Chain A
Amino acid sequence: MMTWSVVGPAVSTAFLASLVEVVEAFTIVLAVATLRGWRPAAIGTAGALALLAALVLLLGPLLGQIPIAWLQLAIGVLLLLFGLGWLRKASLRAAGVIPLHDEEAIFAAETARLDAGRPLRRRSLQWAAGITALKAVILEGLEVVFIVIAVGAGRGLLLPASLGALAACTLVLAIGVLLHRPLSRVPENSLKFGVGVMLSAFGVFWTGEGLGIAWPGQDLALLWFAALFLATGLAGASLARKRSIEFA
């Protein structure tokens, strides 16, 4: 039976991770729409979503063919690599060692890049704009697809995880259409920190299960792992801040 302790972490991780990625993709799509109109932006986005949906439809049935222990181990290791990478970057950003992600600056840079193509013919410009939107949505969407599959596949939670991701897409699109400017107020690094914590916790959990480790408390162990990764990430950020001041 699906309980909240099983479904909750998967859905919330898929939702928060997708929120971060969709905000980043939306910034580029908005830059395209602002400079070249909504048509190439919408066509590029729709094309990317169709490609991503095809990828999920292709991978979904294949995952069912893999023995569950191998699937858990493979997904667990990939989640560990992905999650620890996010957590590392978020800790360094929180420590002020690397700059925060700035959606306004990315929007301005992308707009300037698209504007540099003015001497081209109008049709070429529309085509380039559509490709820019397509690329942005595919690149960010790939991460969403991976996260949804990774947190959902091991326990048959693909549908709830997909719904979490879909809810994030709907939320960002709704707010974005209303505001019509980059969503720079989203606390992106805090979200990335949280998602890195959850992905790392899932990574240890699935890797352990794949190796035949029966975690005490079963799914509830995820929450303990998350608490430990959160505390370690925060401690790492604090130590990194001190160290960067020492070296300054």
Chain B
Amino acid sequence: MAMLKELAGELIGMFVGEVRLTVSVLATVAAVGLLVRVSGLDPLLGGVALLLSCLALLVDSVLRGARPRGSK
């Protein structure tokens, strides 16, 4: 049972390393999907937005990780 719990924790941890990054990526994909599929945005522009957003989220997440805990 303990091993199954550990396995489940490992599986979740594979995709949710940092909650804010995970939520931001999911929100970005959902927003781009809506813009392309529903609002009729040029798919290529949607692709560029997806790529640039992911790059920005990465830098933001790394910089937040470098901040000591408790500081704003």
**A residues lining the B interface (CB < 8 Å):** 77-78, 80-82, 84-85, 87-89, 91-92, 95, 97-98, 131, 135, 138-139, 142-143, 146, 200, 203-204, 207-208, 211-216, 225, 228-229, 232-233, 235-237, 239-241, 243-244, 247
- A86 CB → nearest B CB, Å: 8
| A interface footprint on B15-28 (CB within 8 Å = 1, 0 otherwise) | 11110011001100
Q: In the complex, which residues of chain A have a beta carbon less than 8 angstroms from the beta carbon of B3? A: 131, 135
Whole-angstrom distance between the alpha carbons of A164 and B49 in the complex? 32
**Smallest CB-CB A-B distances: 5 pairs:** A85-B17, A240-B66, A236-B62, A213-B47, A81-B15
Residue of B with least CB distance to A246:
B66
- Contacts A204-B51, A236-B58, A236-B59 hold; do A211 and B43 have CB atoms under 8 A apart? yes
Complex partner residue of A139 from B7, B55, B61, B66, CB under 8 angstroms: B7
Evaluate contact between A232 and B44: CB separation under 8 angstroms: no
Q: Give the nearest-CB partner of A204 in chain B.
A: B51
Give Cα A233–Cα B59 distance, bound, in whole angstroms: 7
Contact A204 B63 (CB under 8 A): no
Q: Beyond A81-B15, A138-B7, A139-B7, is A97–B58 a contact (Cβ under 8 Å)?
A: no
**Which residue of A215, A232, A236, A247 is within 8 Å of B67 (Cβ)?**
A247
Contact B21 A88 (CB under 8 A): yes
B14 in contact (CB, < 8 A): yes
Q: Which residues of B pack against A, CB within 8 Å?
A: 3, 6-7, 10-11, 14-18, 21-22, 25-26, 29, 32-33, 36-37, 43-44, 46-47, 50-51, 54-55, 57-59, 61-63, 65-68, 71
Please list 5 pairs of residues, one from A and one from B, whose beta carbons are closer than 8 Å in the complex, sorted by A's number.
Answer: A85-B14, A88-B18, A91-B62, A143-B14, A228-B51
Q: Is the CB of B47 within 8 A of A208?
A: yes
Residues in A whose Cβ lies below 8 Å from that of B47: 204, 208, 211, 213, 215
On whether the beta carbons of A211 and B7 are closer than 8 Å, the reply is no
Q: A80-B25, A200-B58 are in contact. Are A243 and B6 (CB under 8 A)?
A: no
Q: Which residues of B contact A212 (CB under 8 A)?
A: 36-37, 43
Docked CA distance A211–B33 (Å): 6
A247 touches B71 (CB 8 A): yes
Interface pair A95/B43, CB less than 8 Å apart: no
Query: Who on chain B is nearest to A81 by CB?
Result: B15
Please pick, from B6, B50, B62, the residue contacting A207 in the complex, using a CB distance under 8 A.
B50
